[in-house]
Amino acid sequence: MSVPAAKSGGLGGGQARHVAIIMDGNGRWAKKRHVPRALGHQKGVEAVRALVHGAAGLGIEVLTLYAFSTENWQRPEDEISDLTRLMKRFILSDLDEMADNNIRLKIIGDYSAFTPDLVELIERALERTKANTGSTIAVALNYGSMDEIARAARLAAAKGAITPETIAANLDTADLPPLDLLIRTSGEERLSNFLLWQAAYAELWFTEVLWPDFTADHLKQALDAFAIRERHYGGR
């Protein structure tokens, strides 16, 4: 995996081209308000919608969102049903707007594990937006970074040598710019099997804000913090 050459004193963060978010805190948001957990997930989807709108003028080329991990299958069946229902609703209600605004949808992870009707909706959305040349919304569905790296290594081995470069070329994110900034909401400070390879030289930003309360203003705070950080990439 190649990274920009480090300069003396480090590189200023500048503009973050690729931002990823671990959207954490829907359940705690609901518990804090004594409302059903499903309402927390619904408010989380509304926060996604508002953030996509609000991020339009912030210069981000790619926004990658951790929506459903490989570990989320361990949750109660009714909660998984609520999550998949919300995914369907989001695609049905927002696809036209994404297409009209030249936004490309990308999925990382193995979305084929979901119900056939959701898979069909996802594939329809991918097909409709694949030629769009504006910003990209990458959604991690049934995604786990360790699984992704193992898959990439197998693909690299099938083609020849296994090197950092050949693994990177076979990751789900191979067609995206390098990850600049990874954000996690809700006060937790861990990566939870998300973009482990891609985050090797990314800047990390943690906030106590629960995901349903996260807004474009919070995103701008993270981008402002990124812009003044010195990025050394292993140098001095």
Distance CA 110, CA 125 (A): 16
The pair of three-digit structure tokens given for residue 236, joined into one six-digit string: 């001095």
* Candidates 26, 72, 101, 224; catalytic one: 72
Adjacency order of strands within the sheet including 203-206: 104-108, 136-143, 62-69, 18-22, 181-184, 203-206
The residues near 168 (Cβ < 8 Å, ≥ 6 apart) are 1, 152, 174, 197
The pair of three-digit structure tokens given for residue 187, joined into one six-digit string: 């006060």
The pair of three-digit structure tokens given for residue 193, joined into one six-digit string: 């099997």
The answer to whether residue 72 is catalytic is: yes
Instruction: Tell me the torsion sign for CA atoms 149, 137, 57, 101.
Output: positive
* Candidates 24, 82, 172, 180; catalytic one: 24
Residues forming the active site = 24, 72
